[in-house]
Amino acid sequence: MNKQKNTKLRTGAGSLLAAALAGISAVATAAQPAVQPPAAQDAFWWRPGSGETMPAQMAIRNANGALGIVNADGAVNTRGHPFFEPIGANGRACVTCHQPSDGFSLSLKTVTERWAESGGKDPLFAMVDGANCPNLPPADPASHSMLLEHGLIRVAMPWPYKKQFDAFAAREPEFTIEVVKDPAGCNLDAEYGLKSANPTISVYRRVRPTTNLRYVVDPSYDLSGRFNNKTGVPLPVDPATGKHTGLPIMSDGRADTLEVQMQDAIRNHMQGMNGELTDEVIAQIKDYESQVYSAQISHNVGGSLVETGAPPALGPYALASGRSIINGNNWRSPTFMTFEAWEKDKPANDREAFRASVARGNQIFLERPIWISEVTGFNSIGMGNPYKRTCVICHSVHMTGNDFAPGVMDLGVNNEPWANAGEVLENSHLPLFKLTCKPEARPHPFAGREVYTHDPGRALLTGLCHDIGSLVMQPMRGMSARAPYFSNGSAKDIAAVVDYYNARFTMELTDQEREDLINFLSVL
């Protein structure tokens, strides 16, 4: 492979940007930096190996406006850069599934466009995980329906696992698994399924964003002496630093560090390395991911989200200069700070009305108590069930809204009775599994001894009934760029996310409140 070292281009624009961002003290100074945002360009496919330079800042259009991207270290020469080069044996690069236009995730829109443009031949559709099952006819769109229709990548997990995941996982799984329904065909497949020579469970998950990662894995975040509140066991230790980590990476938290995630991606999604995954390569990818920020920068109705006087948490510049990782579940540093600037009782025009709606949405998010119930990893750990608090109790990392407390939770998007917003699980395109907890195991806290699920989540690693369906919460930024949502893509748009919570926690939102929350989420 091309081992040319990445050169960070300190362009004039990049230097000005860095200077502007350096002048901000994120929490104390509730104001947008004085930065001239770039003109928005149409969304595009970042072709692996294109060798283009990624500017210090970009704005890329999406359905709601535009996503802003900031490379805090300045423009990035992607030629030879392992994030952008097809280092995988199957022609994929990191950027294949972590597209800038999609907030460094992968939107369904991009997937379908890519299929049309490439005739299904793009490495994105590699049979290993870009198909419902590897042995289906590659050229048939039906073979890729999970990816083409729902934006889902296949994740193959050996079952039962041959090696205990960690000291606190079960040596032998506490439950058995049956495949109840298998629309994609892989879990019952003779070659790749649960009864094959290498028994495997296939679950289908969305791609997580590789941006704003300082709010997810900041090495300065001191977890020493902390425990996993949700399970009462010590947090894992990063062997490279000796520091505790908080299970923030990947849907099931199977990577304690970015390095482990990279190894997993190379092995499973890229089918091996087209070269060697050296410490230098890892460092290059990590350096890049640690300095790139993205968030919605403008809205079709709401206008600029980063103009002087705009709410201080909006846009990518605020993320680039914000403090990580601090708790936003409080009044001094609320998760998305304040939207006071946009509050207006009598808006004069559509823009003001939209902005006032966003401000009300933040108010609901921050202040309106709801009955949080039957969430394993939350209601099951001593909080009580139900628990009357606001959204921010869980969406608590300042600026990004992922979970400040380490560990995993089961919101219910995969398990009965809350999956599919109350629709019948058997009608889903997702596989359906029945997990039966053994008599000696403590049953799942809210689903009981028999659990019907689309994705056993972390339990596929730990073998613990408690973990069935539990997953790592995602940051909330750049949502307008990366539909669909939830780990299994079951919310096709932002409205569906709001509707899920409205039903799940009996929020009883009025039409106006629902719209306010949708508008709020669309500008993050």
What is the contact surface with another protein in residues (CB under 8 A)?
Answer: 167-168, 225, 227, 229, 231-234, 326-327, 329-334, 366-367, 369, 371, 373-374, 379-390, 392, 416-417, 439-452, 506
Closer CB to another protein, 132 or 415, in the complex: 415
Shortest distance (Å) from residue 209 CB to another protein: 25
Shortest distance (Å) from residue 166 CB to another protein: 9
Shortest distance (Å) from residue 4 CB to another protein: 42
One-letter-per-residue 3-state SS of 304-319: ECCCCCCCCCCHHHHH
Closer CB to another protein, 159 or 418, in the complex: 418
Query: Tokens at residue 32, please?
Result: 């947008």
Closer CB to another protein, 61 or 389, in the complex: 389
Shortest distance (Å) from residue 323 CB to another protein: 11
Closest CA to 118 of 110, 107, 108, 128: 110
Dihedral sign for Cα atoms in the order 484, 486, 489, 492:
negative
H/E run at residue 76: strand 75-77
| Start-end of H helices in 254-303 | 258-264, 279-289
Query: Tokens at residue 177, please?
Result: 């698994």
Beta strands at 370-372 and 387-389: parallel, antiparallel or unpaired = antiparallel
CB 46 within 8 A of CB 101: yes
Shortest distance (Å) from residue 441 CB to another protein: 8
Buried b (16+ CB within 10 A) or exposed e, 200-212: bbbbbbbbbbbbb
By CB atoms closer than 10 A (0-12, 13-18, 19+), residue 309 is exposed
Distance CA 165, CA 460 (A): 9
DSSP letters, 236-253, are PB-TTT--B----BSTT-
Shortest distance (Å) from residue 7 CB to another protein: 39
Query: Tokens at residue 132, please?
Result: 């419902």
Report how far apart, in Å, the C-alpha atoms of 73 and of each of 91, 314, 396 are: 28, 20, 27
Closer CB to another protein, 11 or 390, in the complex: 390
Shortest distance (Å) from residue 80 CB to another protein: 41
Shortest distance (Å) from residue 161 CB to another protein: 16
Distance CA 523, CA 315 (A): 8
Residue 8's DSSP bridge partners are 76
Shortest distance (Å) from residue 202 CB to another protein: 23
CB 445 within 8 A of CB 420: no
